[in-house]
Chains A and B, each alone.
Chain A
């Protein structure tokens, strides 16, 4: 008997607190998990400057971002795809940041730079051993992202001519690629340049380092855009948030945390 009344009380409590629900001008951003942490930080700063605003950031991936923007579940969709799919045509897209893609290998690997052609042949499976590019006699383990990933699509579109080897391993996030390459002396992969750390080593591409300066100077070629998608006529609060992200302060936050400013 006592258990039942406990249940009833708890459910009642939950129902009553539900009264608060969705309130005032709350903006929801949803989509790209790569941009999500940055969006959270920007939202934090925006809310400190504008106490009336209430912003929530969700993940789910770029496709969820597009769908949510279309269905209205979110006011802003975040997508890190190089080319937006046809469904997104009716949405208005703004580039708010760019992301450099670093090609990484294990720190124990003595190779320091590769040409784009060598990169292409490695990922196609034509070059199978590190000694062909100046390293030791060891099989190359290619690690790539899943089909449809923004990082991968950008990588393949910029390097061109990649028909990923059937032997390539596929991991589904930046962090896992980093761990995989860090734990395998013969591995090669690519990830967002903001995630470089001492566990992996970035190679020079055609002699260019993967740094913010080189990317902004357009010397380092592997870059991809981050889009914010809204319905054609976003509300005033939404536009205000987007303007903030594009402002000097917003762009500085973006740069400080590892992405590249939009311009």
Chain B
């Protein structure tokens, strides 16, 4: 007996809807948990002051500055590198065994534990290249960590741009780069942005790799050779060494708000760019 498609649809919607609800509940729970413990601690003084007494008192401003600087640096390094690599793999080479191997390699690297990246960064950037514990060492290491995500999501976004767009562009006499720059990338932008946002999230939340490379100094950085502490590392140290649970959650709350703002800002900017083009 054939099932009425309308009924299967109703059943499907129910199943999918409950799955989504379950997901959203878990996610909301986590955000509420952190905010509930952390919001009471947030105050103007907390956000702009320096830590005192081992982090039990005072604020987290150096950590906020550290997070901002480190994230900006790693995205500045990873985004052009990742997008460029993806463009090269999709538009400038033919699909071959080599590209499949490269893609496979990028996927595998996405699975390397952060502590290995941290050790790699410590040995190569901090010790051998003598950068010391610094923003630069941390930025390079984090860039390597988020590179696979950006490469793969950009690749998928570019592949999703319809062939006809390219054909029209070439038939109008555009070169490959002109096509990429003016036609493909703008259309792939939402997908690229997702990859970058996921990368930003990863960079902001990373602890082990950051501690080994950017260090955990509490002082305000004055150059990219200075060590910094990020909000995630601050939470990590406060919570795990048992110094101050409230300040730890306050830091986490500040971090969540920061990530949310960055995400919303990025999407707003992207929507404006798309609106301007159409």
Contact = CB atoms under 8 A, between A and B. Distances in A.
A and B touch in the complex (CB under 8 A): yes
A7 B54 contact: no
Interface string B236-278: 0101111100000000000000000000000000000000000
A173 interface: yes
Contacts of B55: 37
Interface string B204-235: 00000001100111110011110100000000
B73 interface: yes
Given A37-B54, A73-B127, A17 B132 contact: no
Contacts of B76: 7, 10-11
A142 B55 CA distance: 30
Contacts of A64: 122, 212
Given A22-B132, A73-B126, A60 B241 contact: no
A40 B224 contact: no
Interface string A158-181: 000000000000000111101000
Contacts of A41: 53-54
Given A58-B217, A71-B127, A37 B240 contact: no
B73 A60 contact: no
A14 interface: yes
A21 B241 contact: no
A69 interface: no
Contacts, number: 87
B223 A20 contact: yes
Contacts of B127: 71, 73
B212 to A, nearest CB: 6
Interface in A13-30: 14, 17-22, 28, 30
A58 B133 CA distance: 8
13 contacts: A7-B80, A11-B76, A17-B224, A18-B136, A18-B223, A21-B223, A28-B132, A28-B133, A34-B241, A36-B216, A73-B126, A175-B239, A197-B242
The 7 closest A-B pairs by CB, nearest first: A173-B240, A37-B54, A175-B242, A175-B240, A195-B242, A20-B223, A58-B215
